[in-house]
Copies of this chain bind each other. A is one copy, B any other.
């Protein structure tokens, strides 16, 4: 009569909370996910959630760790890198990295969340790209590439544009990739 999941008896309560939070935040975002709902799904008391993670926001950030094989993209040849970046972003939409970015940006009303995003962008995108770029103002141009990626993610998934999400990925990669390549090559 109750098809919801049973208690994960093989795990410690803290891990059960972390897993429940990961699922619920990923499914419904930050605001729509309550501490009591997380506790219910984990099969624990709501107070335990705060006791183990300090606050709802801290738990949110812990489940929203940005990591991905983006570095591999950047270690490839400079030629065609723009298009490869776009393809990677398009694929990451259904993967782990895309949705995480989406929920983080949507919850960026908090300064703590913004700092989290800032650090992740710096480590994941700006730093590796900056290393690879040649010519003047490599750091500046790397940040503008990151801005282009952020814009694509925003328009595709944060505030989705239906016509863009339905567009042919190959055309997107070709057109937007060329624009990114323009900054990679540096005029």
Contact = CB atoms under 8 A, between A and B. Distances in A.
Given A143-B164, A151-B149, A183-B175, A109 B159 contact: no
A165 B117 CA distance: 16
A172 B144 CA distance: 8
Contacts of A147: 148, 151-152, 154-156, 161, 164, 176
Contacts of A53: none
Main SS of chain A's interface residues?
A: helix
Assembly stoichiometry (copies) = 2
Q: Give the interface size bracket for A toward B.
A: 35 or more
B159 A118 contact: yes
A29 interface: yes
A187 interface: yes
Contacts of A47: none
Interface stretch (A12-20, A38-46, A133-141): A133-141
A160 B167 CA distance: 30
Contacts of A179: 144, 148, 179-180, 182-183
Contact of A108 (B158, B161, B163, B172): B158
A97 interface: no
27 contacts: A29-B109, A31-B109, A31-B110, A105-B158, A105-B159, A114-B159, A114-B160, A118-B160, A118-B161, A121-B161, A126-B161, A140-B163, A140-B164, A143-B161, A144-B176, A144-B179, A147-B152, A147-B154, A147-B156, A147-B161, A147-B176, A148-B151, A148-B179, A150-B151, A151-B152, A178-B182, A182-B182
